[in-house]
Amino acid sequence: MRRLSLSLHVDPFTRLFSLTLLLIGLLTQECFAQVWVPTNAKASRGDPNIPNGISISWRNPSQNQALPNQSALIVRSLSYLSQASNCFSFVGPAPAAGAVTQANLPSGVELVWQGAPVYDGFTNEQSFTHLDSPSQAVLRGRTYYYAVRIASGSSWSYCAQGVESQPYSYFSNDRNILGWRTGYSISGTLTLPGGDPAAGVRIYSNHYPSGISPRLYFTSISQTDGSFSFQNMPAAFGTYPHNIDYKDPQTSSSTPPADGYWVCKPSCLSGGGSFSCASTTPVEVTTSDISGITLKAISGWPYSGLSGLAYRVSGTVALPGGVTPLPSGLSNGTVRVRADGCDYTVSPLNYGTNGIYASTSYPSNPGGGSIPKGTYQLIASPQTSGTYTIEPSNFNNPQTISIGHLENRNFLASSTSRYSISGKVFRPGMLGLGGVSVTASASGQADITVQSQADGTYSFVDQFGNPLLPVGIYTLSASKSGYNISNMFSGALSIVSANITAKDFVAISNQTVQISGNIWFPGHVNGLAGQALFADPAAMPANFTCSAGSCTITTGSGSVINLRVSAASQAPNGAFVLNVPEGLYNLYPSSAGNYSYSPASHTNLAATANLPGRDFEAISNARFSISGVVRDDNNQPLSGVAINVFKAQTQELQEATYTSSDGSYTVGDLPQGAYDVHPLLLNYAFQISGSWTQPVIVGPNNASGRNFTGISTLGETVSGKVVRIEDPSTGVPGVNVQLDASLQTSTDQNGNFVFSNVSNGQYTLTASHPNYDIFPSQGIQVLVNGSDIDNLVLSAREIKPVIPILEGVLDNQNGTFTACFGYDNQNQIAVQITPGASDATNVNTFGPPLPIQGQPLDFQIGRVPGAFCVTADNSVSLTWTVRYRGLQAHAATATSASIERLEPIALQGVCVKRNIAGNFEARFSYHNPNPFDIHTAVGPNNRFIPAPEDRGQPTSFLWGNVMLMPSIEFSAEEGSLTWSVHGSQATVTPDSAACQNQAPVADAGGSYGTISCSSAETQITISAAASSDPDGDQLIYAFSTQCPNSSIVHSSTISPQATLVLSAAGDTSTASCQVTVTVSDGALQDTAVASIFLAPSCFDCRGTPYGAAVVDDCGICAGGNQAKDCAGQCFGPARPDRFGICGGDGTLPPGCISTNYSD
């Protein structure tokens, strides 16, 4: 039996590690000769049985050795030694190779081997002077090695001589002589913890026969890949190990140098514990090489007294943002330093509520720590499993210790529970802002970002509403292009066990929008200049404060933002412009000054685009008067004249009075403003006296000298009434009525007007009012001829605004939105406002740079929803402004964040089937749930994927019921077909639900009536174009006929038309025949019949179709006019006589000479 045993030994006292190789060899073919010898036998020069130069080495069986009951006698050629103490000496030259033969040996002694010996595993020129005691020595001479042992305390002494290296070596201890077979190798790999090769490390093997001294030493130096090899090693005869360890025979030191390595065979304690060195069980070794030995190079491990370079590992376990103290379940966890499946600390490193961990320090040990050089996995675990995951934050495993400590190896813990932070991003007035990126940042963790919704709310949850944030301390920030955004809370936010709410931001747009208008005086002719106006946020959170000078909000950082915007009205018409950031505002004039305003304020103005026409009427607290004198054309005062004062703009009656006996009048209690003054007295027409003009402006001074001249209209009277066109029983006051250019008056409160003392003549009666259209627009022709004319009626139709309305917006899911607008035309007629118009009278425009965006020219009566739609980038604000006939302008604004939302157009892929061409035909449907049609051209928001985008889909999406589209073809190579409309999508693949096929319906065109012949060959076009397929499938067509002497010309099976060709041959039976049309969708088919009728003209007089026989002039078929006489009369009596004269009597006419032509 041959065995190799490899074992690890730990000295229980010094805890030093050594590797012992035990080589046991039982020699078979090359065995030692064994003979019986006396127990007191001794090698001596004078032994007559031993030739000169031959020494006997022997083994005493009385020793505690597992040997045979006989001694082993082994004979070897020796060099001669000088005599040593108590040791026999042999003098003489070394025997030559081959000098010893079997014939020289005594009976029973076998010659095993002789020849030139070779070196053993000792390194050349290496001197070994240290054995187990000072009385031992190893001598080397030439190629021979000798082991000499001087026994002490024995009753007799001996020498064991001639220990050779190859192929046998001998060793002696006391009365024992041992033999080994040499020439084998021992090899393996030396690595650092973690598996990196340990290069340049000197490894020693001491051949230690069962603890018997002296030892034989061998050495090897590991290579760059960590491999090592011992050559020419002795094999054991008996149980004798090789120890491979760090002991240096030159220095007798059991400790490697400070920068060296301990060499050991590592293993882990049971249960995956810390690193240790332990023995191994024997393995087979015989006369073969030993390989595959795995060793570890340990620079130091002071836990077990292995001094050397060892270092510290330290760092922290932290939560995002650095939450301290660490919460329960995470705190008091462990960090393990592992390599090769072992912990390289005696126990895991604990960290407390502060999260700090560190390996043991050994200040007296080189390096000052406890972890040897190597490559390690640093693994952190929480106190309670499953509550947190812990990963390296500023390093990546594995980590290598070479020179120096591993410090600041920090971990980031993430809770398995998730929480949310929510709030709102608002503009001034709490107007929400959508599309804001809100980011939660915590040190050691990747930022997490969510988007605010259209109403400005945000929440750190996923699309299913699940919270996103693990436990940590977070800093929140918000950003959107074009806005400065500040948080309304201070400091970082600590999430430990609950969600956090109401963490709001205020967003101030970089670009401002305009709120504009005028502060008019009554009459709207002139305005109040220099009056302060304020735009304050309509609503704000609790930390919003308004005082006399400002409206401020304090942010979380302590910054104070003034959100009040002010401006002053300008002369001459009180115009004002306030440039405000986007927001929701209340607009109001300052209370300073001697005025009140109507309205007192404009509230909840959503300023996301310019807001024109936000007018006020300033009513002065001070009152003014208009005064003057009314005289007749003889300059006599007129008393009792009614003086009516109307507001100039609206013709609303403000005040009225009568002239006194001296013709004077004063109308007081008038607020500052512009007024029209109209005198009224029966039988008088009035005109302005002097250079003043209407309207009359009062304030800051009274208006005097507004004199009139009354001209008597006695004579004929012209009177009538201006009534509302929609309610003729209601009169319209304040209408300016003219009878030609010379006479004018105004209607009273009931709409009545009177012209007195009108001279005879032809007149045109016209009327005007700034807020009404008067009909007939060309006026009424009035003939005054000696009598009064009354009951004239003019109709007035009030001019009303056209109000644009945002129906809602659609998110197209591609960075754009579509806004649909409608309008309310409050007029009683359809009106026209030119797109792009923008003047004081009419406005129909969008803001720059594109004033025309498809808005209508014609505005129908009443509320018209969904008149048109506009698509724009999400960053664009769309404002449609409409003004009609000088009335106040109205605007509708759409942004991607508008709260008015449209329902998406729902798309559905209904079914699919394969057509006759091998392609697929998909059926789609759509449902527009909005209460109006939506028109979308083929393009980014109405397209098919893959290209081509245009596959015949509708561009007008009718509201109401689900609409099924015709089939749309796609190829197998395309794989699928997706229809995308305003962010909604539907996809059909070959695996979608199969369409149920319905049979086509054939239509051959019915009866083709009576066909007139045009030539010897007639062509008739047969059309089956009216054929149809309920599924919209493509049809194929086939034509056949039973018509004699005919043929069918059909250019293509997909063409619904064919030509029936009728030839000349045939008989009367061809007067009527049929053509059969067959249509097929590839699976099902249908037929239809077309009837063909030929007109009589297609037959000749003999009844032959297309025949040549015709009726001659005498009515004879094919007669050729043979029935005519020589005079051309059908069936006439005239015949030529013998002289060829038609109708002659056979006599020669006068003057003719008869010549007889004969033979």
pLDDT tens-place string over residues 140-176:
222 223 333 323 333 222 233 333 333 333 333 332 3
- Reported as a pLDDT band with limits 50, 70 and 90, residue 256 is low
Choose the most confident range, by mean pLDDT, from 39-43, 297-301, 579-583.
579-583
Q: Is the pLDDT of residue 772 over 80?
A: yes
More confident residue, 467 or 15: 467
Average pLDDT over residues 1027-1042: 84
Say yes or no: 1017 and 1046 in one domain.
Answer: yes
Per-residue pLDDT of 326-376, as tens digits, reads: 888 888 999 999 998 888 888 889 998 999 999 988 887 788 888 999 999
pLDDT-wise least confident of 292-301, 380-389, 434-443: 292-301
d(Cα 202, Cα 974) in Å, to the nearest integer? 70
Question: At 414, which amino acid appears?
Answer: S
Length of the chain: 1159
Distance, in Å, from the CA atom of 747 to the CA atom of 740, rounded to the nearest integer, reads 16
Residue 1157 belongs to some domain of the structure: no
Mean pLDDT, residues 378-389: 88
* pLDDT value, residue 109: 41
Cα 335 to Cα 67, 192, 198, 371: the distances in Å are: 54, 21, 26, 14
Q: Are residues 624 and 681 in the same domain?
A: yes
pLDDT recorded at residue 616: 92
Q: Are residues 14 and 118 in the same domain?
A: yes
CA distance 205 to 19: 8
In this structure, is residue 14 part of a structural domain? yes
pLDDT, average across residues 243-260: 53
- Give the least confident one: 7-11, 221-225, 266-270: 7-11
Whether 455 contacts 434, CB under 8 Å: yes
Residue 978, phi then psi, degrees to nearest 5: -120, 130
DSSP bridge pairs for 1142: 1136
Q: Are residues 505 and 538 in the same domain?
A: no
Question: For residue 718, is it within any domain?
Answer: yes
Tell me whether residue 561 is in a domain.
Answer: yes
Please, what is the Cα angle at 719 between 715 and 721, to 5 degrees? 170
Please tell me what DSSP assigns to residue 253: B
Q: Give me the pLDDT at residue 218, please.
A: 63
Task: Classify residue 1130: in a domain, yes or no.
Answer: no
Q: Say which amino acid occupies 314.
A: S
- Which of 573, 588, 619 is a domain's end point? 619
Q: Are residues 157 and 127 in the same domain?
A: yes
**Given a cut of 70, is residue 879 above it in pLDDT?**
yes
User: 186-195, 363-372, 506-515: which has the highest mean pLDDT?
Assistant: 506-515
Do 393 and 364 belong to one domain? yes
| pLDDT score for 627 | 96
Nearest to 572 by CA among 523, 619, 525, 515: 525
What's phi and psi for 1096, nearest 5 deg?
-55, -30
Angstrom distance (rounded) from CA 53 to CA 51: 6
Whole-number pLDDT of residue 178: 34
Query: What does the pLDDT look like over 1090-1108, one tens digit per residue?
Result: 888 766 556 667 666 666 7
* Same domain assignment for residues 781 and 807: no
Token pair, residue 969, equals: 């073809």
% of the chain exceeding 70 in pLDDT:
75
Place of tokens 């039996």: 1
CA distances from 145 to 78, 80, 244, 1091 (A): 10, 12, 22, 130
What letters, b where the CB count within 10 A reaches 16 and e where it falls short, cover 644-668?
A: bbbbbbbbebbbbbebeeebebebe
**Separation of CA 775 from chain center:** 62
CATH number at residue 1053: 2.60.40.10
Out of 893-897, 990-994, 1032-1036, pick the least confident.
1032-1036
Is the domain of 194 the same as that of 71?
yes
Average pLDDT, the chain: 76
| Highest-scoring range by mean pLDDT, 219-223, 649-653, 672-676, 958-962 | 672-676
Supply the pLDDT for residue 425.
95
Please state which of the ranges 47-56, 91-100, 967-976 shows the lowest mean pLDDT. 47-56
Q: Three-class SS of residue 432? A: strand
* CATH code at position 549: 2.60.40
- Give the position of tokens 């495993």: 397
Cα–Cα distance for residue pair 451/437, rounded to 1 Å: 5
Strand blocks (E) in 884-1035: 890-894, 906-914, 920-927, 934-935, 942-945, 956-957, 963-964, 968-970, 977-981, 984-988, 1007-1011, 1018-1023
- DSSP letter, residue 1148: P
Top mean pLDDT of 478-487, 838-847, 990-999 is at 478-487
Structure tokens, 386: 């499953």
Question: Which residue has 């919003």 as its token pair?
Answer: 544
Within a domain: residue 1151? Answer: no
- Predicted confidence (pLDDT) at residue 243 exceeds the cutoff of 90: no
* Residues sharing a CB contact under 8 Å with residue 197, sequence separation 6 or more, in sequence order: 189, 190, 191, 222, 223, 224, 225, 226, 227
Structure tokens at 811: 């998110």
Alpha-carbon span 206 to 214, nearest angstrom: 10
> What confidence tens digit (pLDDT) does each residue in 553-574 have?
888 888 888 989 999 999 888 9
Residues 56 and 189 placed together within one structural domain of the fold = yes
pTM: 0.45
pLDDT of residue 850: 87
The secondary structure of 825-888 as a DSSP string is E-SSS-EE--TT-BSSS-EEEEPTT-S-SS--SEE-SEEEEEEEEEEEETT--EEEEEE-TT--
Count of domains for the chain: 8
Instruction: Report pLDDT for 604.
Output: 92
Q: Which of 853, 872, 894 is the last residue of a domain?
A: 894
Distance (Å, rounded) from C-alpha 76 to C-alpha 99? 11
Average pLDDT estimate for 521-533: 86
pLDDT score of 366:
81
3-state secondary structure of 304: helix
pLDDT for the residue 279: 42
Across the range 1062-1069, mean pLDDT stands at 50
Helix, strand or coil, per DSSP, at residue 535: strand
Say whether both 573 and 555 belong to one domain: yes
Is residue 884 predicted with pLDDT exceeding 90? Answer: yes
Can you spell out the DSSP letters for 321-366? T--SSPPTTTSS-EEEEEETTEESSSSPEE--TT-EEEPPP-TTST
pLDDT band for position 1151 (50/70/90)?
Answer: low
Confidence check: pLDDT of 1115 > 90: no
Residue 717 clears pLDDT 80, i.e. is over it: yes
Q: With bands split at pLDDT 50, 70 and 90, how would you rate the model's confidence at 16?
A: very low
Rounded CA separation 927/904 (Å): 9
Residues 465 and 564 both lie in one domain: no
The whole-angstrom separation of Cα 62 and Cα 70 is: 10
* Phi, psi (rounded to 5 degrees) for 474: -120, 145
Q: Which residue has the higher pLDDT, 298 or 247?
A: 298
Domain range enclosing 579: 512-619
* Same domain, residue pair 485 and 503: yes
**Boundary of a domain, candidates 749, 781, 796:** 796
Contact 757, 714 (CB under 8 A): yes
Q: How far is CA 573 from CA 512, 590, 675, 817, 833, in A?
A: 24, 17, 15, 39, 26
Of 537, 534, 553, residue with least CA distance to 585: 537
* Confidence grade of residue 1153 (pLDDT, cut at 50, 70, 90): low
pLDDT grade for 403, boundaries at 50, 70 and 90: confident
Share of the chain above pLDDT 90, in %: 38
Q: What pLDDT is stored for residue 208 in this prediction?
A: 46
Neighbours of 328 (CB within 10 A): 12
Worst-scoring range by mean pLDDT, 46-60, 129-143, 887-901, 1103-1117? 129-143
Query: Chain centroid to CA 1057: how far?
Result: 52
Please tell me the distance from the alpha carbon of residue 995 to that of residue 1031, in angstroms, as a whole number: 8
The pLDDT of residue 768 is above 80:
yes
pLDDT band at 84 (very low <50, low <70, confident <90, very high): very low
341: in domain: yes
| Cis peptide, bond prior to residue 700, ω within 30 of zero | yes
The reported pLDDT for the residue numbered 141 is 27
The predicted structure's pLDDT at residue 1103: 63
With bands split at pLDDT 50, 70 and 90, how would you rate the model's confidence at 108? very low
Quick check: is 1093 in a domain?
Answer: yes
Mean pLDDT of 366-387: 89
